[in-house]
Structure 1
């Protein structure tokens, strides 16, 4: 018999996060966005609630709650503030999981534990000015130098690296060539304050205004040998191994935006009157709401199934790509239709839907563009 209900403990966790978001995030989200302010205090509160290490073992300060629980929490955080949820997502997945999966015991104690407890914030550096979807095309290099590594290169569009609680950044770099002329890759942790590691100014983005995003530059940045995470030569494979969970998390972030767009559309349609009637009385409006609600339920099924497969330890690369693809495109459709229902009121920056509308587009780009997701799905079906 199929059971689509969340376990009671996850329902309780979700309700707690819903209450927390309503009290601690919702009243401030508009100001954080307008002022482009990263709310460090809030993330320390998330740490106190044991939410900063949900995918990390309890041994290292996390709660090891699993992907289904993680998606349930994301639904609540992202439905109130996408910038906060995006920062939490980057920290929880691609910043923490490489250390959790491939780090040594010492690395986990030194770096993973402060991330999992919420004492510090994590970042991951893959994208470069000339490499994004083509992860193998990165040019940042790591060369052996004495008993360490010398890092040179530039990373672009990196989130969480420039806050007052940033621990450092884990990066992917080219370490050499294979016998057949291919590239070898390594994963390295660069701590804040390392000589030769500098950060550009915060980038001015279309959305996600409260999320700290910067260019990172490494000029003869020397780090000790023990800052290599996992095996030299396996860096790209290590990154790809944790990428599926990152895609599920972006799918969940997209789901949360669709949820917010639906709520705002319904609220406005009920209260706004035209021609002597509420907007809900007009079929053109009510059909938009019906479409958003139906697609939200379809996306929710894809996202939670991918998360459940991950928790079961079963293959989920195709399902993660499908969830990310569909949910992110739904988020954009839902935000657009909800804004249309709001009319002129939705187009002013003071409106809540305008913030979600600006935040939606990046969901089709980050964690692998949707063109890449279609490639992943097609390969899985035709190989």
Structure 2
């Protein structure tokens, strides 16, 4: 199977790489991490101005119509630069509305995502142990509408975000960030993202459907959105791992020990070779999942394989590259440490590698061959 990017996706990669290289400097990343939201808002505006926020969204919403493949090219470039913008939660939510939402919901959300004036986020996790596919958050009818009760953990980049895509026992719902019955609790994640815990107490919500009063949420939407989210996270992790490997390669080329560059030592070369092999395996599994999802074919197992590789191999790579930097690798303000933090955070989002492996085993055991 040929996973070579076409002309359009190559153009997206080139543009995204240039923007992230120019904007995601060490100083800008530091400033964003110390801000109230943890987001580089100037970078977010630049992504909107260049059309990259709409790369995956349909053309009738003002997007480029490049689907999940376009999104994952963008996310991989973000990961290479560890750029502090909430692309995956915002654009996965937008894709969910594009695929499962009704005309009114699409019209209300998608144009604002494309031009950067609306920044949604996704509340798909709860406190462990739990399976994201079986949320404990309760959705109940209330007259002609719905209300949600429960707690959603680690909602990414929630400061200033809205609306919020919430998973519940009846499916997916959109809630306004400041709706009655909602309270927020600030938390800071491993990757220094300013996330928040969301508490819902009979908060009014709109099911992800045509918005007809009393209508249930779109069937199968939760599984579909989890596939999108897992694939998006795998794409970010590929970029994080490659960015970390390239920084390590540059470091061992310049750094000398015993009168020789570190990169001339065979043990160092083996470590980087192992990183390269694992990154290529991550990329192949990622694009296999993307190709199936964009083609509308069954992709649950392929998505879990990609997510498992992202968690397992991605964590291996950021560990190795940090070790190759020696003592400065554990300096919390040194650039390579940020890659380690991102890799660690992504590896545990929506469940770690062992949880993904268990889900994959269950999926394969239930498959008909």
Please give the TM-score of this superposition, normalised by the length of structure 2.
0.90
Name which of 211, 228, 233 aligns with 1:245.
228
Name which of 195, 208, 223 aligns with 1:213.
195
Given the alignment of the two structures, is residue 230 of structure 1 paired with residue 214 of structure 2, yes or no? Answer: no
Counterpart Cα distance in 2 of 1:220 and 1:377? 34
Contact 1:43/1:118 (CA < 8 Å) preserved in 2? yes
**Per-residue deviation, residues 38-80 of structure 1 (Å, max 9, x unmatched):** 2223212212222223332111232221222322222211110
Contact 1:279/1:285 (CA < 8 Å) preserved in 2? yes
Contact 1:74/1:252 (CA < 8 Å) preserved in 2? yes
Name which of 139, 153, 158 aligns with 1:156.
153
For 1:84-103, list aligned pairs within 5 A: 84=85, 87-93=86-92, 95-103=93-101
Question: 1:360 is matched with which residue?
Answer: 343
1:221 match: secondary structure:
strand
**Per-residue deviation, residues 230-264 of structure 1 (Å, max 9, x unmatched):** 28555673111222122111111111111011101
Contact 2:125/2:350 (CA < 8 Å) preserved in 1? no
- Report the CA distance between 1:35 and its aligned residue: 5.0
Counterpart Cα distance in 2 of 1:259 and 1:11? 17
Q: 1:297 to 1:158 in 2, by over 3 A?
A: same
Counterpart Cα distance in 1 of 2:32 and 2:295? 38
- Report the CA distance between 1:4 and its aligned residue: 4.3
Counterpart Cα distance in 1 of 2:127 and 2:271? 39
Question: 1:289 is matched with which residue?
Answer: 272
**Per-residue deviation, residues 325-364 of structure 1 (Å, max 9, x unmatched):** 1122222111111111110111112311111112211222
Question: 2:106 is matched with which residue?
Answer: 108
Question: 2:178 is matched with which residue?
Answer: 193
**Per-residue deviation, residues 59-105 of structure 1 (Å, max 9, x unmatched):** 12322212223222222111101543xx2011111x22331122111
Question: 1:370 is matched with which residue?
Answer: 353
Name which of 133, 141, 144 aligns with 1:144.
141
Q: 1:272 to 1:130 in 2, by over 3 A?
A: closer
Q: 1:237 to 1:369 in 2, by over 3 A?
A: farther
User: Which is worse superposed, 153-162 or 34-43?
Assistant: 34-43
Q: 1:16 to 1:117 in 2, by over 3 A?
A: same
Contact 1:79/1:260 (CA < 8 Å) preserved in 2? yes
2:141 match: secondary structure:
strand
Question: 2:309 is matched with which residue?
Answer: 326
Question: 1:73 is matched with which residue?
Answer: 74
How much is the aligned-residue C-alpha RMSD, in angstroms? 2.2
Contact 1:62/1:117 (CA < 8 Å) preserved in 2? no
- Report the CA distance between 1:310 and its aligned residue: 1.9
- Report the CA distance between 1:132 and its aligned residue: 3.7
Counterpart Cα distance in 2 of 1:68 and 1:220? 37
* Stretches of 4+ aligned residues off by more than 6 angstroms: none
**Per-residue deviation, residues 288-324 of structure 1 (Å, max 9, x unmatched):** 1111112212221111222122222222211111111
Counterpart Cα distance in 2 of 1:285 and 1:316? 37
Contact 2:133/2:222 (CA < 8 Å) preserved in 1? no
Question: 2:5 is matched with which residue?
Answer: 6
Counterpart Cα distance in 1 of 2:83 and 2:46? 17
Question: 1:298 is matched with which residue?
Answer: 281
- Report the CA distance between 1:158 and its aligned residue: 0.7
Counterpart Cα distance in 1 of 2:95 and 2:53? 12
